[in-house]
Amino acid sequence: MNPKVDDWRGRHVWIIGASTGIGAAVARLLMERGAHVAVSARRQRLLDAMIVGQPQAQAVALDVTDHATIVRARDRIMARWPRLDLVLIVAGGYNEMRADSFDLVAANRMIDLNLRGVCNCLDLLLPLLLRQGAGGIGIVSSVAGYGGLPKALAYGPTKAALINLCESLYCDLHGRGIAVYQINPGFVDTPLTAANDFAMPALMSPQAAARQLVRGIERGAFHIHFPKRFTNVMRVMRLLPYRCYFWLVRKVTKL
């Protein structure tokens, strides 16, 4: 559904949300494979440490909830680069929430970070990619966006919106030479999942997740999800009648 990537050498990749977790692991993997990588997140110190010994890399801090910082980051990066071959928007957050503890402030914070933050990035990236008539954009959502789950009252809807957003972007951009990647990880051992107090099926390391993500882009996939032994179960569950779906959710989560 997208062009295949046979060689990362010389490609210019901007990873937004690259200081920890999947974003950091993907950045390191692509630097090893010869890509020019720009890493962005809020903490400049962590970004600087990532690119030590990598003369082709850039570290530019930003906050996806602050439009002006993204403008400055884009301008700094593109002042050194001739083009942008791929941007990966990995930045996001998680807040456990259920109906009996609904918190409007926390819910709005999730919307600002996980959804509006992506829109802030798109506002600056889409015109650039459209002018190029080439390149690609990948957005990290989650299997939590496939269907409603306990403890995901605010997080899940933001990820469902990103899945829909990627589908709409593909409709608009595929015919204009721009690749779109919808990326839905399962449970990955990152700072976001460290506080979970429940069993996380098929938990992956960030390095394993990064390899799966990069392999999906190399194959030209649109829908990149991993680990498949878990994500495929979630996809099948979503096709079931609601009575069956909710019964399985209760059985599996014990919630």
Q: Kindly list the catalytic residues.
A: 155
Contact 183, 141 (CB under 8 A): yes
State how far the Cα of 226 lies from the Cα of 186, in Å rounded to an integer.
6
Q: 147: closest CA among 58, 73, 78, 244?
A: 244
State how far the Cα of 77 lies from the Cα of 61, in Å rounded to an integer.
11
Q: Sheet harboring 58-59: ordered strands across? A: 58-59, 36-40, 12-16, 86-89, 136-140, 179-185, 223-226
Q: Within a 13 Å sphere around the CA of 244, how many CA atoms are in the beta-carbon half?
A: 7
Residue 89: strand pairing partners:
16, 139
Buried residues in 1-12 as b, exposed as e (16+ CB within 10 A) = ebeebeebeebb
